[in-house]
Each structure stands twice: as structure tokens, then as C-alpha cells.
Amino acid sequence: MINSNSILLITSDFKSMNLGKRGVLIVNEKKHEWIKTSITGEYILKLLKDPMSYLELLNNITCYYEVCVEDIEEIILKTLLSFYSHNIITIDGESNNNEPQYIVNENNELQQIWLNITNRCNYSCPQCFSKIDNADLHLSLQIVEDLMLQASELSVTDITISGGEPSLHPNFVDIVKAVKNNNIPVKVITNGTIVDLNSEILNQLRYYVDDVQISFDGICANTHDQIRGIGAFEKALNALKFFKDGNARVGIGFTPLLENISELENLYDFGFLHEVDYLHISRPSAPSNVNYCNKEEFLSERFFGQVIDQVSKLREREQRFREMYRAMERKYPMIYASFIPHLNMIDNVKKERCSAGITTISIMEDGEVYPCVSMSTNRKKELSCGNIYSAKLKDIHVNARNKMIQSFSVNDNKDCKKCIFKFFCGGGCRSTGNNIYDHDSSCSEFKKRYVQFVKNISLTNVRALSRKNEQ
């Protein structure tokens, strides 16, 4: 492909960031690809701002570094071919015309419905984002049954039932059955008091539910009960043990708080001990309780950075457990923490905005629909996309999609459009911004973590990630 007379020239389809002694990050926004190159790679790109033959390039580099052609030609050739494959340079006026291997977030259909069937709850956790009023509101069984028929027609693949505490809904079991009768996988999020239901109902649930996530605010009774109330830890633990004996996947839901952040690293030990399938770490979000103490610190970038650090330690803990028990048949809990920045750089989704209202919607106990559960926190009317009691699910989803697409794009936001990472984060979580038109409130923390990830990853691992994404 490249010979002595080949003419090389850089394209205008990429942005770069100098990482100091750690090399250079190069992002091709058009193809949604990134590579990390060496200082020599950066020097090559500077030379190729004007057309140059391969032979001229080699001569220039050998003179600059005072080395023989034989010592560096193999490395230079590999670098050039890598640049070409990522559309960073052209060879003899031709670019790599392979189709991009990424998914455009906005092309996805509705996949998940978060169904908040009741606002009733037997706890009043200070950090909860769910607004608990004095009046008990429940989605009717009839509307849920009709909704599931519509969801099935739209090929929805995930229904998450939550609340309040969903088991307090008077028709809770029938709602779960309505989902399963339409062959849609159903997940239930509970605080553990679900075990207060009678044994007959519990055994039915164990048959119908595909996934049960039980909320834990600590790995010991003292921490958990301080937040939720005396006896709450024991009930959550009993629920975990009960559903673990069934066919459902069983996971632990954990929201990092100022009161429990020190226990996050050891959450893996707890999950491993109780043989759960996964650990779901939620990002701290604005609580409905305006009197929540230290709310400003809880939502600060400093605390968010601390959470990211603790999740990293949690993943290191997982690796140690896999090494220690590799000769044994043991269940290793998966870790889900979708807000961790570097994960965006190793998936293949190009994000112009977050997926709220596009792949997911949240239906509240009064039938009001929001782009996602986090955006339902303050029940702002401008965020509502319709009401399931008066409109069809398909029309509501179209409205939600259009609302989110029209309100935000990283290409239009004054801060995002200049950022080299914009299509990886998609502006971050919109519910954390000042309004629906704003980007993530922890933007600077995300940028810092992206740079840290790219600096620390070796060129060998970058190439391995590239090959993995091409498969």
C-alpha cells in the first residue's frame, strides 16, 4: 500500500490533545475512533500538514532522530498504517473508506421502561430521589396491562418495576404477571420489605421475576439501619437470601453517600460472600428531600470524584478475588457503574446526547412520563412527555425523543462543541445540569478522568482495544 513515492497528507477529520510525556491522543470525530500515538507519531503528523512522499518522510525522521532507516522503518510504517485506518492521513489522495463501526445513540429504539407503580414507601431515606407525598398514588392494574401490550408491540426488552416500594402496591403480583404474560423480562427494585408479603405471594414472585435488585446502604447493620431504620438491614438480607434460592438474578443496589462511601470498596467482599449476581452502583443524584444534610457536598464534583476512585478500588478488589479463587467454582458478582467515564471510551456508541427519552423512559405512579427516572425527581412540567392515561406509549416516546433531541446537542452547546471527548460522554447526565439544556454538572471531573485514562493506558492496550472493537 505504501511505497517510496507514496504521497502522504493529514486529513481534517481529527482533533488531537498533547498528553506531555505520555504521547498524544487523536480522535476522529467522523468515524468515532480514537488512538494514542507516541511523540514520534505527533512529529509525523506535523510533517504531513503538507503533502510529503514516504521517502521524504523517512529521510526527515532519520535526520531528526539521528538514526538509521533500518532501525525505525518498521515502526514508522505501522504508525502510518494505523493513521490511515483511522482516517487521519490519506495515501496518494485516497482515504480509508471502511464503514464506521459505531452505533449512533439516536438511532436506537425504546428499550427500557422504568415503571414506578406507587409512591408509597415504608421508609423515608433522606437521599431518595423519589418524591413521597402524603397521598398514596398507584398506577392502576388496567393501565399497566394495556401498557404492556403496547410495550410488546414496540419490542421493549426491559421493564424495571420500582416505586416507592413496589411491593406495597395492592396489585403488585398481578402487575408482575402482566409484564411476564407479554414475554418481557421484568426486574424489581425493592428495599427488602418485600419479604413481608405472605409466603404464597413470595413463591409466585420467585417464579415470575427475572431480576431482583435489593437496596443496601451499607454492608453492616449499623450503617444501613442508621439510614433506613432499625431492622432494615436484616429484612434486606432475608430478601437477598430468599430470591437467591430461586431462578431470578439477584443483585445489590448501592448508592454512595457521605455516610457509607468508606464501605464501597469492601462491597465486593459482601456480594461475593452472599453469592449475588451483580453489584449495581448508582450515581449520586439530587434527593427529593430538600432538608437532606450536606446536600451541597453530596452533589459536588469532589464527592463524585471520590465515588469514581472507590469504584476503581472495587474493580481492583474483583480482580484480586478472581485471582485468589481461580481454582474454585465460585460466583463472581458483575459490577455495573455506567457513570464511570473511561467506559465511554471503550464502547462503540457515538453520543450526541444522553439516551434519556430515546432508549429509556420513566412512568410515574400518576401516569406522567419523563425521559428518565432521574429527570422525574422534581416533576417539572417542562420535562413531562405526556401521560399514559391519556396518550399512547408510541406517541409519548416520539414526544420524548423529539424533546431530548431538540433541547440538547454536544454540537450546539458552547462548552461541549470545543471538547475532544464530546461524542464519548454525549454531554453527560442531563438531570445533573442546571436545566434540560445544560451539560453534566461534573463536566470537569469527567474530562480529568478521560485524560487520566488515556495517559495511563499503554499503546499495546490501545491497539488491543481497537482490535476488540473491530470484531
Contact 399, 388 (CB under 8 A): no
Q: For residue 87, give Cα distances in angstroms to 61, 105, 467.
A: 22, 22, 16
Residue 292: the pLDDT is 66
Residue 463: the pLDDT is 47
C-alpha grid cell for residue 454? 488515556
Residue 284: the pLDDT is 85
E strands, 376-416, in order: 386-387
With cell 525505525, the residue in question is 72
Nearest to 235 by CA among 199, 274, 206, 193: 193
103: phi then psi, degrees, rounded to nearest 5: -105, 135
Residue 469: the pLDDT is 46
Q: How far is 407 from 442, CA to CA, in rounded Å?
A: 19
Report the percent of the chain where pLDDT is more than 90.
65
Residue 57: the pLDDT is 95
| Segments of the chain with pLDDT less than 50 | 463-471
Q: Is the dihedral of CA 181, 186, 191, 192 positive or negative?
A: positive
444 φ/ψ sector (left φ>0, alpha ψ -120 to 50, else beta): alpha
pLDDT in tens, 430-461: 888 777 788 999 999 999 999 999 998 865 55
pTM of the model: 0.90
Q: How far is 139 from 365, CA to CA, in rounded Å?
A: 5
